[in-house]
Structure 1
């Protein structure tokens, strides 16, 4: 490393680079993108894959129960519903096109069943999207800002 790349407070007596007190890459964000996102989609900790992300349907554990990754600090509030709707509604659009083109005309009972299935699919997709967003945020190191400090 060139001398000009080091901060001004660098001293050659430091045992390792970067010196203590600086922001080093956390150990829980070391996996590849597909592994991290895949673990999030499956509802497991994006860092270790051993513990669940969720404590209930969408409530996130503050810390991973296995590796202590800060899962609750990830700002995953607004993006998951948009991602879930984008994916589900693009798949559902095929069925809507068939309904309006006249290939299939469901009765009132079948329309109710399809509506219930849509709600269940959206709920499952929302949970998977929230897990994926938490994985992305953890990989990027983006944390929710502390309102007290």
Structure 2
């Protein structure tokens, strides 16, 4: 792919999922666990302009809650085992899955915002003026 050819939706989201810049796929997206690099170190793209506020957390909860927790409830061992054993035995892996998924989902979300060209400075377009 040419360096000047814009990525497709799937490419941008996959780049973010892998923690790479959705623009160039070379620079790191994060400088800490969930802290987005202000600018891509490889191409200079402004990564801080994408408002990935609560969206990634909602999608992470949706995935962990519906795809991991809900199926567990169908197994009788969850209900029959002692609470002192089952609570840590389920919460620790679920917390680990949540912490592992959150930066990946946030990266994919930033890739989506990049393709849709949703930027922090456009927030006024999405809020209603309630003063009128």
Normalised by the size of structure 1, how large is the TM-score? 0.71
Higher helix share: 2
Residue 111 of structure 2 corresponds to 135
1:34 to 10, 25, 34: 10
Check conservation: 1:29, 1:139, Cα contact below 8 A.
no
For 2:28 and 2:87, locate their aligned partners in 1 and report how far apart those are by CA, in whole Å: 35
What is the root-mean-square deviation in Å for CA atoms of aligned residues?
Answer: 2.1
2:71 to 72, 94, 97: 94
Task: Count matched residues.
Answer: 118
For 1:35 and 1:139, locate their aligned partners in 2 and report how far apart those are by CA, in whole Å: 10
For 2:18 and 2:4, locate their aligned partners in 1 and report how far apart those are by CA, in whole Å: 17
Larger Rg: 1
2:52 to 76, 80, 83: 76
The within-5 A match list for 1:104-123 is 104=78, 105-107=80-82, 108-123=84-99
Q: Using a 3 Å threshold, how does the CA distance of structure 1 residues 72 and 49 change in structure 2: closer, same or farther?
A: same
Residue 47 of structure 1 corresponds to 23
Residue 65 of structure 1 corresponds to 41
Q: Using a 3 Å threshold, how does the CA distance of structure 1 residues 106 and 43 change in structure 2: closer, same or farther?
A: farther
- 1:106 CA displacement: 3.5
SS at match of 1:87: helix
- 1:85 CA displacement: 0.6
For 1:74 and 1:57, locate their aligned partners in 2 and report how far apart those are by CA, in whole Å: 17
- 1:28 CA displacement: 7.1
SS at match of 1:40: helix
- 1:29 CA displacement: 7.8
